[in-house]
């Protein structure tokens, strides 16, 4: 039986009826159509149009039969090309048209788009329907399709989902799996993620606070508007709704919001667009809601008729259930616990197997969307991780990373708590109440056998005492140590057990002190329950301590907190027993109340520890010392009050004062007790509240004491002393209260890891700029190899502490990459050191060093600066605490000093130290309130340095007066406190220095990031130039681009000079200088791209971009060298390397300017001239060789060649300033004078009789050739920047350098002939006198001008005669010539003065006579130096001498 189908030939617009067998495959049908119609090709297929409301359009798959599609007789199929243009809109509203195979699934199309757009993690993207045209107002109607239903199903084709040919789709990120790997190296994905994150922030999808909103808006401004411009960026310029989310905009209205935004924007000046996007994405990732896809659901709750609204969130790690209104997390289900799920049109059900008691079901219409999202996440994770696991070998630096992820069903288990209390449960344990999955925790006979049968309160005391004995040994094996409970679950179990202890203890106290007659059985049962709950808590404490990795030799907050609770329970049991035996005894009741409060405090501390609210050690120490100071100062006050109360006559009033003093003293001690217990957990609001309340109680008690003393008529002098002591107590209380506000979460630092990372980064920076220095290369490579084990070990430690498995894997993977980079670097470093002149080898070394530096920076992250500032804050607290302790000890010791002067000096020093501590505390509080404000952090560094002198003064004073302290105990306390304070202040100063260094390190890292962005930008530009795709910027002209480049080059030159200057004078400021250099390079590259785009000459484009890359490489090397200097400012080798790097930058700038001229006249000739100079420089004989001829002849030849160079240089300078078109020929003319110079220099050096002069001639010649080359480069820059003062200044400086080099060469040559240099100097002096005469300027007028003139003329005649008589003695001839020049100076100056005095006019009238005098002297000096004079020449000499004298 055949099937007749209507085949629509789309291209021909014809329809034909054709018969096919129903069992034919679609591929066979297409072949038959092609054979019969001779139409179509391999890209054709069969398409079945949809029927509205019945069936969507679809492409028929080639491997399916017609029968599979249930085709009917005369059904219509279209025969057409499968490829069609698909319009894809990105999140930035740009639209790209991509040619796709319409028969592919959406997932395959996304892969195609991702590869074409070079998106690395394309599987995390998907397509959505574009609804922007349907809702142009941006307002959703009641019928608006939910966002989750806009996603297209990845397994279906576009047509199967109703996407017509003319429809547009939107490419968006749907899954958030490897966002941490989105980097600047993937600019396309970075841009897409940035835009999507930006829209989510601005729309309010990611709730954030005001400060976070301002940071986001500032980064957005940096991306869209560039650097902050005060002239433009003023309130009213921005449409804030495009930058700030609605909740913030509605809450903080007015211009102040935009002003605050600009304040944040100012901080980002110099940050590139790529870096700003990257920072934006990083900041967005830190939000709690990032990466969570939310669905609106409802749940049925017992006791309520209507379903309750909930939110269901899906992430890569978990399924989260949240309260709809508050958005608080109610339950989190790890994705690895999920067994299966089911979606229906009205609900969605999850099965977590044994991890949950029942199915989790929600009411929702988005069940299919939830199902697709879950499936997508799991498929991506399976694909990426490929069933690997984690291997941590501490002895292997090459870290291997493996993990297992998939649809895992958890092992069912029951948490069991063992008991030291027999007779409670036949299984020696009881089922835990928490329901955490885990392995059974059974005792294996390795714990002490201290079982006690609890029958009454006495046996309960014994059982708790046994538990405390066991807890004295934290190293005992832990029952259930193989449990699968996470550290968080262990902490929760410990907290639950601690709450159980508190509840049981409450029942016990109620049984003892409750109304009515004591029920002994109830009391014993309560005691039994208390003992059992303590045992369960102790077991949980061991497990939690082990899971948390607490160090038995260090701090064990969880275990020690449980031990404090157990100890408090032991005291409570004793007090309860005593109170039960003596119910009317007030002391027993007070002891019970005290024990109950101690248990409450211990429980509060343990709760804080379990909740991760432990404060930093510095705060703990500060609070403790402050409380001690409060107690000591209060005790002193109370002692003073009691002593003075003895003089009060009224017994009642005296008793009132004494009672108030006793209460105040008890308040101080109570505050100390509370602080000692709760200070570590002050971050817990309950702990903080109790500390604050106890401190305020001290303040109230002291106030009452003072009021009682005053009302009792206490002696005024005693009152004054008491009030002064009360102020000291108040200051200490203020310090304590301030300390409670400064608490930070406790975080362990890893100094070994930080130091290793810093050393490797510095070594990498050194290697980048170590060309031609084998010793430096070997030293830096050795540092890298030495520090690598510490870095890798630190990374493993950091991975072991990470709670997030993804973070752990990322750290380990990065550590592996660092290890590989170190191995690669050490290999290429050896080759580069062995072949210092091999440029290719050094380039490989530079690339390896850059890679290692980048990987190390990524591994460490921003931890460097954060750790340094954290260390500074911590040491500030330690120093404040130590100084506070010393103040208390000094005040106490002062009471035992008989010498009033020494006592006063000690108390004054203590007062000064206390004031210094207060100032430090104020700066510390400000710095903690404004952690992102550099000024606040700098103020803390300054305060730390200022605090030291006051504290050190007290240390010195304490040690000075110690021999006068008569109480040995007080003396010892003061000396110990002074030593502790000295050590703490030293640490504080060191951390202040470290913080300053770390700030610079971060700036170097940011500079490195900018260089990476610049390199990526250049890569793209060079690729466009290579392919002929370089386009001019809209409205950009060649002249405009050239002006832009000139401006950027000037800025770059200034930045480089500033960096070199900072290295010499202020190495601490090298970080900001490095950022300025990196920013300037970015501006130069931008200008170079604009200039390259303004010409169609591909060769010129490549040359300009190549010059820009050479500049970027040279600048990066200079910054790397500066980074090394920042760590080693006194290393002369690094200083020399920086000088060379700066020269390389200057040369690169000049070359870039020259290349920017492209095909302009002269550019080619100038480059040829420079190449010729390089060839001639290679011909200079480093070791002189005698080439023949005498030295006088060869030296005369060399001096003549310098005159030719001077003439050529003058022509070059004129062309650079006035005739740019003639610069090329002038450069070639200049270069043409060098071969003769080199030949003459080789001959002169070889024939010179003085050996050291030979070397001087060679070196001077090399220097001259080098300066000539620099002058040609500088001339190119000046000719391209006509009228630029900086360019003209550089040209003049370079010309002067050439002149100095010529003079140096001449001096070297003349030093081979005795007296010749002095003679030439005399001639130059005479020529200068003539120039001075021609200016018309008057010299200082002597008192008797005519007499001075007469004496000068007489001296002139005598010295001229000396020239004639010294003809045969070069040394005397040189001295006589010098005297003639000096006499001529005086003659000229006095002649001008005389003429001015006589006529009141300038000395122009003397010029002819002075000119004759000059000519005579010049001829005389030159003739005197000429060898082999004939008779006529000698007569001429005599005549010139006479003329000069006349």
CA distances from 927 to 218, 560, 942, 1413 (A): 22, 32, 12, 78
Distance CA 577, CA 6 (A): 100
When pLDDT is averaged across residues 432-460 and rounded to a whole number, the result is 48
φ and ψ of 4, to 5 deg: -90, 125
Distance CA 154, CA 163 (A): 13
DSSP string, 275-313: HHHHHHHHHHHTSTTTT-EEEEEEE--TT-SSPEEEEEE
For the stretch 628-648, pLDDT in tens is 889 888 988 998 898 888 888
When pLDDT is averaged across residues 1255-1275 and rounded to a whole number, the result is 88
Q: What is the pLDDT of residue 1235?
A: 92
> Which residue is associated with the tokens 């007015």?
254
For the stretch 899-910, pLDDT in tens is 999 999 999 999
Secondary structure (3-state) at 334: strand
The least confident of 199-213, 500-514, 1422-1436 is 1422-1436
Q: What is the pLDDT of residue 449?
A: 38
When pLDDT is averaged across residues 80-104 and rounded to a whole number, the result is 87
Residue of 1412 and 90 predicted with greater confidence: 90
> Which residue is associated with the tokens 């249930």?
70
Tokens of 908: 């004054």
Q: What is the pLDDT of residue 109?
A: 92
Secondary structure (3-state) at 1212: helix
Do the beta carbons of residue 738 and residue 623 sit within 8 Å? no
List beta partners, residue 3. Answer: 20
The answer, yes or no, to whether residue 858 has pLDDT greater than 80, is: no
CA distances from 456 to 517, 523, 619 (A): 18, 8, 43
Residues in contact with 354: Cβ distance below 8 Å, sequence separation at least 6, in sequence order: 409, 410, 411, 412, 437
The answer, yes or no, to whether residue 57 has pLDDT greater than 80, is: yes
| DSSP H or E run through 172 | strand 168-173
When pLDDT is averaged across residues 27-53 and rounded to a whole number, the result is 87
Distance CA 273, CA 1010 (A): 10
Q: What is the pLDDT of residue 413?
A: 30
Distance CA 826, CA 784 (A): 8
> Which residue is associated with the tokens 């450069």?
1227
Residues in contact with 1163: Cβ distance below 8 Å, sequence separation at least 6, in sequence order: 1154, 1155, 1157, 1224, 1276
Tokens of 640: 């003073």
When pLDDT is averaged across residues 972-989 and rounded to a whole number, the result is 85
The least confident of 260-269, 528-537, 1040-1049 is 1040-1049
> What does the buried/exposed string (b/e) look like for 1347-1379 if buried means 16 or more CB atoms within 10 Å of the residue's CB?
ebbeebbebbeebbebbbebbeebeebbbbbbb
Assign 1437 a pLDDT band (cuts: 50, 70, 90). Answer: low
> Which residue is associated with the tokens 């498995």?
805
The answer, yes or no, to whether residue 1368 has pLDDT greater than 60, is: no
Nearest to 48 by CA among 28, 23, 63, 26: 26
Assign 482 a pLDDT band (cuts: 50, 70, 90). Answer: very low
Q: What is the pLDDT of residue 1254?
A: 85
> Which residue is associated with the tokens 């060789």?
1185
Residue of 495 and 1327 predicted with greater confidence: 495
The answer, yes or no, to whether residue 396 has pLDDT greater than 50, is: no
**How much is the pTM?**
0.41
Do the beta carbons of residue 604 and residue 596 sit within 8 Å? no
Count other C-beta atoms under 10 Å from residue 159's C-beta.
20
DSSP state of 1366: T
Most confident range, picked from 205-214, 479-488, 1258-1267: 1258-1267
Most confident range, picked from 308-322, 924-938, 1017-1031: 308-322
Q: What is the pLDDT of residue 12?
A: 86
For the stretch 825-842, pLDDT in tens is 888 888 888 887 777 888
When pLDDT is averaged across residues 1326-1346 and rounded to a whole number, the result is 56
The answer, yes or no, to whether residue 1282 has pLDDT greater than 80, is: no
The answer, yes or no, to whether residue 455 has pLDDT greater than 70, is: yes
φ and ψ of 292, to 5 deg: -105, 130
Nearest to 906 by CA among 830, 975, 837, 823: 975
Q: How many helices and strands in the chain, by DSSP H and E?
A: 40, 20
CA distances from 585 to 527, 574, 579, 588 (A): 21, 14, 7, 5
The answer, yes or no, to whether residue 764 has pLDDT greater than 60, is: yes
Q: Is 1249 exposed, middle or buried (0-12, 13-18, 19+ CB in 10 A)?
A: exposed
Rounded to the nearest angstrom, the gap between the alpha carbon of residue 1115 and the centroid of all alpha carbons in its chain is 20
Q: What is the pLDDT of residue 77?
A: 93
CA distances from 765 to 774, 856, 1120 (A): 15, 12, 4
For the stretch 1093-1119, pLDDT in tens is 888 888 788 888 888 888 888 888 888
Q: What is the mean pLDDT of the chain?
A: 78
Q: What is the pLDDT of residue 387?
A: 39
Q: What is the pLDDT of residue 217?
A: 93
> What does the buried/exposed string (b/e) look like for 390-410 if buried means 16 or more CB atoms within 10 Å of the residue's CB?
beeeeeebebebebebeeeeb
For the stretch 702-756, pLDDT in tens is 999 999 998 888 888 889 889 888 988 888 898 888 888 888 776 555 566 777 8
Assign 897 a pLDDT band (cuts: 50, 70, 90). Answer: very high
Q: What is the pLDDT of residue 697?
A: 92
Q: What is the pLDDT of residue 1157?
A: 63
Q: What is the pLDDT of residue 660?
A: 92
Residue of 805 and 320 predicted with greater confidence: 320
The answer, yes or no, to whether residue 61 has pLDDT greater than 60, is: yes
The sheet with strand 347-351 has its strands ordered as 329-334, 318-323, 308-314, 293-299, 360-363, 347-351, 340-343
| DSSP H or E run through 83 | strand 83-89
The answer, yes or no, to whether residue 384 has pLDDT greater than 50, is: yes
Residue of 75 and 1414 predicted with greater confidence: 75
Assign 804 a pLDDT band (cuts: 50, 70, 90). Answer: low
Distance CA 829, CA 777 (A): 7
Query: What is the percent of the chain where pLDDT is above 90?
Result: 7
Assign 1196 a pLDDT band (cuts: 50, 70, 90). Answer: confident
The answer, yes or no, to whether residue 410 has pLDDT greater than 60, is: no
| DSSP H or E run through 349 | strand 347-351
Assign 147 a pLDDT band (cuts: 50, 70, 90). Answer: low
Nearest to 661 by CA among 588, 597, 729: 729
Distance CA 186, CA 181 (A): 9
> Which residue is associated with the tokens 């035996």?
581
């Amino acid at each position: 039986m055949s099937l007749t189908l209507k085949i629509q030939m789309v291209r021909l617009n014809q329809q034909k009826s054709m018969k096919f067998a129903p069992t034919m495959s679609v591929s066979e049908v297409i072949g038959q159509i092609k054979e019969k119609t001779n139409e179509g090709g391999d890209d054709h297929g069969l398409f079945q149009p949809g029927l509205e409301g019945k069936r969507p359009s679809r492409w028929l798959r080639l491997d399916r039969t017609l029968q599979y599609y249930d085709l009917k007789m005369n059904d219509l199929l279209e025969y057409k090309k499968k490829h069609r243009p698909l319009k894809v809109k990105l999140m930035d509203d740009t639209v790209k048209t991509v040619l796709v195979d319409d028969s592919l699934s959406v997932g395959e199309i996304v892969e195609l788009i991702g590869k074409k757009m070079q998106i690395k993690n394309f599987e995390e993207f998907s397509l959505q329907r574009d609804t922007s045209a349907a809702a142009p107002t941006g307002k959703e109607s009641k019928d608006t399709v939910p966002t989750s239903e806009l996603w297209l199903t990845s397994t279906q084709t576009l047509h199967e989902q109703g996407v017509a040919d003319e429809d547009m789709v939107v490419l968006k990120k749907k899954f958030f799996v490897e966002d941490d790997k989105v980097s600047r190296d993937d600019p396309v994905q970075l841009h897409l993620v940035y835009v999507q994150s930006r829209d989510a922030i601005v729309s309010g999808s990611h709730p954030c606070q005001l400060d976070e909103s301002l940071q986001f808006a500032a980064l957005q401004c940096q991306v869209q508007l560039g650097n902050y411009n005060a002239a433009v960026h003023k309130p009213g310029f921005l449409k804030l709704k495009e930058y700030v989310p609605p909740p913030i905009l509605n809450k903080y209205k007015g211009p102040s919001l935009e002003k605050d935004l600009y304040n944040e924007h100012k901080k980002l000046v110099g940050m590139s667009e790529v870096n700003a996007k990257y920072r934006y994405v990083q900041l967005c990732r830190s939000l709690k809601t990032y990466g969570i896809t939310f669905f609106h659901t409802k749940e049925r709750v017992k006791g309520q008729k209507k379903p309750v609204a909930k939110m269901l969130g899906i992430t890569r790690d978990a399924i989260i259930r949240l309260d709809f209104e508050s958005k608080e997390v109610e339950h989190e289900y790890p994705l690895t616990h999920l067994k299966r799920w089911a979606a229906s049109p009205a609900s969605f059900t999850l099965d977590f197997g044994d991890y949950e008691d029942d199915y989790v079901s929600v009411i929702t219409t988005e069940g299919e969307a939830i199902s697709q999202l879950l499936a997508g996440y799991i498929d991506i994770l399976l694909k990426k991780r490929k069933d690997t696991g984690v291997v941590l070998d501490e002895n292997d630096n090459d870290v291997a990373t493996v993990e297992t992820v998939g649809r895992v069903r958890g092992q069912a288990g029951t948490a069991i708590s063992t008991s030291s209390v027999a007779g409670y449960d036949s299984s020696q344990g009881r089922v835990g109440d928490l329901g955490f999955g885990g392995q059974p925790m059974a005792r294996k006979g390795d714990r002490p056998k201290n079982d006690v049968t609890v029958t009454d309160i006495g046996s309960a005391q014994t059982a708790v005492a046994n538990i405390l004995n066991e807890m004295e040994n934290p190293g005992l094996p832990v029952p259930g140590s193989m449990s699968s409970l996470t550290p968080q679950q262990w902490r929760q179990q410990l907290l639950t057990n601690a709450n159980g202890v508190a509840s049981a203890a409450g029942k016990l106290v109620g049984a003892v002190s409750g109304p009515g007659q004591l029920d002994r059985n109830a009391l014993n049962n309560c005691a039994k329950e208390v003992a059992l709950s303590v045992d369960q808590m102790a077991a949980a404490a061991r497990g939690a301590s082990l899971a948390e990795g607490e160090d038995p030799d260090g701090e064990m907050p969880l275990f020690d907190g449980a031990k404090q609770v157990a100890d408090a329970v032991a005291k409570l049991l004793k007090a309860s027993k005593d109170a039960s035996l003596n119910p009317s005894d007030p002391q027993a009741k007070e002891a019970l109340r005290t024990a109950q409060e101690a248990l409450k405090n211990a429980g509060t501390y343990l709760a804080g520890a379990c909740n991760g609210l432990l404060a930093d050690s510095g705060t703990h120490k500060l609070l403790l010392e402050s409380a001690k100071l409060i107690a000591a100062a209060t005790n002193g006050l109370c002692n003073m009050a009691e002593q003075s109360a003895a003089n009060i006559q009224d017994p009642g009033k005296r008793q009132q004062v004494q009672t108030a003093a006793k209460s105040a003293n008890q308040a101080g001690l109570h505050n100390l007790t509370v602080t000692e217990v709760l200070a570590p957990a002050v971050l817990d609001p309950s702990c903080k509240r109790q500390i604050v309340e106890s401190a305020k109680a001290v303040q109230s008690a002291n106030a009452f004491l003072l009021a009682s003393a005053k009302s009792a008529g206490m002696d005024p002098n005693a009152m004054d002393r008491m009030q002064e002591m009360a102020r000291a107590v108040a200051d200490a209380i203020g310090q304590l209260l301030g300390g409670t506000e400064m608490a930070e979460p406790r975080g362990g630092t890893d100094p070994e890891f930080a130091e290793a990372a810093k050393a490797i980064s510095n070594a990498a920076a050194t290697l980048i700029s170590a060309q031609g220095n084998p010793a430096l290369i070997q030293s830096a490579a050795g540092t890298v190899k030495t520090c690598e084990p510490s870095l890798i070990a630190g990374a493993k430690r950091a991975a072991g502490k990470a709670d997030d498995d993804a973070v752990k894997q990322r750290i380990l993977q990065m550590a592996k990459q660092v290890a590989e980079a170190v191995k690669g670097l050490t290999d290429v470093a050896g080759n580069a050191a062995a072949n210092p002149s091999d440029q290719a080898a050094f380039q490989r070394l530079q690339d390896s060093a850059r890679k290692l530096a980048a990987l190390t920076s990524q591994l460490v992250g921003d931890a460097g600066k954060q750790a340094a500032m954290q260390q500074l804050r911590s040491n500030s607290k330690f120093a404040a605490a130590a100084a506070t302790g010393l103040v208390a000890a000094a005040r106490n010791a002062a009471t035992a000093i008989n010498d009033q002067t020494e006592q006063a000096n000690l108390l004054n020093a203590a007062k000064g130290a206390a004031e210094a501590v207060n100032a430090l505390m104020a700066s510390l509080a400000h710095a903690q309130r404004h952690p992102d404000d550099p000024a606040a952090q700098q103020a803390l560094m300054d305060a730390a340095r200022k605090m030291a002198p006051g504290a050190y003064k007290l240390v010195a004073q304490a040690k000075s007066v110690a021999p006068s302290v008569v109480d040995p105990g007080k003396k010892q306390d003061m000396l110990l406190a002074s030593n502790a304070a000295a050590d703490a202040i030293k640490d504080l100063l060191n951390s202040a220095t470290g913080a300053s260094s770390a700030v610079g390190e971060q700036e170097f890292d940011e500079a490195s990031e900018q260089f990476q962005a610049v390199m990526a930008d250049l890569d793209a530009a060079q690729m466009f130039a290579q392919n002929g795709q370089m386009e001019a910027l809209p409205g950009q002209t060649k002249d405009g681009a050239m002006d832009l480049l000139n401006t950027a080059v000037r800025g770059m030159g200034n930045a480089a000079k500033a960096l070199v200057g900072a290295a010499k004078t202020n190495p601490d400021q090298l970080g900001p200088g490095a950022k300025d250099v990196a920013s300037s390079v970015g501006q130069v590259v931008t200008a170079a791209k604009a200039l390259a785009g303004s010409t169609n000459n591909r060769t010129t484009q490549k040359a300009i971009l190549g010059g820009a890359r050479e500049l970027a490489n040279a600048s990066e090397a200079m910054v790397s060298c500066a980074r090394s200097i920042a760590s080693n400012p006194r290393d002369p080798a690094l200083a020399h390397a920086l000088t060379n790097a700066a020269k390389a930058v200057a040369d690169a700038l000049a070359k870039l300017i020259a290349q920017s001229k492209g095909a302009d006249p002269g550019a080619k000739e100038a480059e040829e001239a420079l190449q010729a100079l390089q060839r001639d420089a290679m011909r200079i004989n480093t070791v002189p060789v005698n080439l023949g001829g005498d030295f006088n002849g060869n030296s005369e030849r060399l001096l003549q060649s310098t005159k030719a160079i001077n003439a050529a240089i003058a022509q070059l300078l004129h062309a650079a300033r006035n005739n740019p078109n003639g610069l090329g020929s002038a450069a070639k003319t200049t270069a043409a004078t060098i071969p003769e110079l080199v030949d003459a220099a080789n001959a002169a050096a070889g024939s010179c009789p003085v050996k050291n002069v030979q070397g001087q001639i060679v070196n001077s010649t090399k220097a001259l050739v080098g300066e000539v080359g620099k002058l040609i480069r500088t001339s190119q820059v000046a000719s391209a920047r006509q009228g630029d003062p900086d360019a003209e200044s550089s040209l003049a400086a370079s010309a002067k350098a050439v002149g100095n080099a010529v003079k140096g060469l001449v001096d070297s040559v003349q030093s081979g002939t005795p007296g010749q240099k002095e003679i030439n100097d005399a001639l130059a002096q005479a020529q200068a006198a003539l120039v001075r005469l021609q200016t018309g300027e008057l010299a200082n007028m002597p008192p008797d001008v005519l007499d001075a003139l007469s004496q000068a003329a007489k001296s002139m005649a005598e010295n001229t005669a000396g020239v004639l008589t010294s003809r045969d003695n070069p040394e005397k001839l040189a001295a006589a010539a010098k005297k003639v020049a000096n006499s001529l100076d005086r003659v000229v100056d006095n002649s001008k003065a005389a003429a001015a005095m006589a006529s009141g006019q300038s000395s122009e009238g003397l010029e002819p006579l002075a000119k004759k005098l000059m000519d005579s002297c010049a001829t005389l000096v030159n003739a005197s130096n000429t060898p082999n004079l004939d008779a006529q020449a000698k007569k001429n000499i005599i005549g010139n001498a006479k003329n000069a004298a006349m």
